[in-house]
Amino acid sequence: AQSVTQLDSQVPVFEEAPVELRCNYSSSVSVYLFWYVQYPNQGLQLLLKYLSGSTLVESINGFEAEFNKSQTSFHLRKPSVHISDTAEYFCVVDVGGSYIPTFGRGTSLIVHP
């Protein structure tokens, strides 16, 4: 069975600073990887995904994540954060052939002015 570990429950940063949210997964088969974002009092929405091909994937609002198969990681990065990036971020692993995506426990990104 697959599992997802988000290593930080909370990450405080100052506006315009870089940030990395860490995600490691365990699976013995090929995986699909996702990052979802949840803004306060809202549902989850897809931020970016890795299905195949290039290991570096980007979102429209400046986030990027790199699939590292040897380290079984899919860390999320942004070179300069904004106040509006304050949210909960979930790393998700989905195994081919499985019906059930597995969620990490989430990382709360708090951006201070």
Partner 1 sequence: NAGVTQTPKFRVLKTGQSMTLLCAQDMNHEYMYWYRQDPGMGLRLIHYSVGEGTTAKGEVPDGYNVSRLKKQNFLLGLESAAPSQTSVYFCASSFRTGRLREAFFGQGTRLTVV
Using CB under 8 A, list all residues that contact partner 1.
Answer: 9, 32, 34, 36, 42-46, 49, 51, 90, 94, 99-101, 103-106
- We find the least distance from the C-beta atom of residue 31 to partner 1, in angstroms, to be 11
5 neighbors 103 (Cβ within 8 angstroms): no
- We find the least distance from the C-beta atom of residue 51 to partner 1, in angstroms, to be 6
CB closer to partner 1 out of 26 and 42: 42
CB closer to partner 1 out of 60 and 70: 60
The CA distance from 69 to 72, in Å, is 5
Question: In the chain, how many H helices and how many E strands?
Answer: 0, 12
